[in-house]
Amino acid sequence: MALLLVLQGCGGGTSSPTVEVDGSSTVFRISEAAREEYSQLNPNVTVVVDNHGTGGGFSNYLNGEIDIVDASRNAKPDEEAKAKAQGIPWSRFTVGTDGITVVVNPKNTFVKSLTVEQLKTIWEPDSKVKTWNDVDPSWPAQPIVFYSPDVDSGTFEFFTEAIIGKARQQRDDVQPSSDDNTLVNGVAGDPDGIGYFGYAFYEENANKLRAIPIQPNSDAEAVAPSVSTILDKTYRPLSRPLYIFVKQASLRKAAVRGFVDYYLGHLDVLAKKGGYVPPSPEEKEANQKALSSGQAVPTTSEKDAA
């Protein structure tokens, strides 16, 4: 026992290399699928995937805590600037396409579709909309209950910019959550609820939610979110790319490089398993160029160190 303690104190114990991933609850589903599959092939590598929102992921990255950011939006200029200033540049890879889905309770049978202008009126700061009747006089005067991702969410940022025209600007009287399943259950249990989140969370719960077709303008046809409409971008303006941002220094570690190689090489399966549309051939080609551009393959010594 004494010898064992001495060996442990001198570093005699062994531990598996670890890959740290954090960020978007939307992209979490793809990264978690990658973790599950990769761990079966490489059980000696520990991949940890967490979901503290896109903003939380970038914050943890800039604090030096993680290797990979799951992001449901692009990096902001200030995030780019901080990463550059700190000497921790990243490479960005597209891992899928999502369609933010606006949902109501199935008991709500009167909302057949919504225009972008109606969505803006509903969700904008200082909105006067309190009841469904405020949106359309033909709808009942029942109060609306609002369910929204929280302020650290990339979904929140993308939705507010696409619908309201200003990122992170939204009415205050909402029930926010960082957990999309909490939003799902909120709307599913509330006949007057309305909310929005990634398509995969709707598809997984389609039996207890109703997706609302969206009209880009009053003259356009209302389009419901689906794999095909997200892929061909006819579901507008709420289709969006999904990313991972990988620290370039981490790509020199054998454990991280191996996981990223597997991740990018199996996106057709992983994105679908996560509930999203896989990247296009052009996006996958761009991923490979980004991976090879200036990224050294780990040397033997680096593999040993990892």
Q: Nearest Cα to 70, choosing from 30, 27, 35? A: 27
Residue 184 pLDDT level (bands cut at 50, 70, 90): very high
Cα(59)–Cα(35) distance, rounded to whole angstroms? 22
Are the beta carbons of 157 and 73 closer than 8 angstroms? yes
Cα(20)–Cα(79) distance, rounded to whole angstroms? 19
Q: Is 250 in the same domain as 124?
A: no
Residue 232 pLDDT level (bands cut at 50, 70, 90): confident
Q: Is 224 in the same domain as 282?
A: no
- What would the mean pLDDT of 194-203 be, rounded to a whole number? 96
* Structural domain that includes position 194: 101-237
Residue 10 pLDDT level (bands cut at 50, 70, 90): very low
**What's the confidence (pLDDT) of residue 103?**
98
**What's the confidence (pLDDT) of residue 62?**
98
**What's the confidence (pLDDT) of residue 36?**
98
Cis amide linkage into residue 237, ω under 30° from 0: yes
- What would the mean pLDDT of 50-77 be, rounded to a whole number? 96
Confidence check: pLDDT of 78 > 70: yes
Residue 42 lies in a domain: yes
Are the beta carbons of 147 and 177 closer than 8 angstroms? yes
For residue range 241-291, list pLDDT tens digits in order. Answer: 999 999 999 999 999 999 999 999 999 999 999 999 999 999 999 999 999
Count of domains observed in the chain: 2
Q: Give the up-direction half-sphere exposure of residue 157: CA atoms within 13 A in the CB hemisphere.
A: 16
- Name the pTM for this structure: 0.84
Residue 2 lies in a domain: no
Q: Is 119 in the same domain as 161?
A: yes
> What CATH number is associated with residue 247?
3.40.190.10
For residue range 113-144, list pLDDT tens digits in order. Answer: 999 999 999 999 999 999 999 999 999 999 99
Confidence check: pLDDT of 304 > 60: no
Residue 245 lies in a domain: yes
Domain end marker among 191, 206, 237: 237
Cα(79)–Cα(268) distance, rounded to whole angstroms? 29
**What's the confidence (pLDDT) of residue 14?**
52
Residue 8 lies in a domain: no
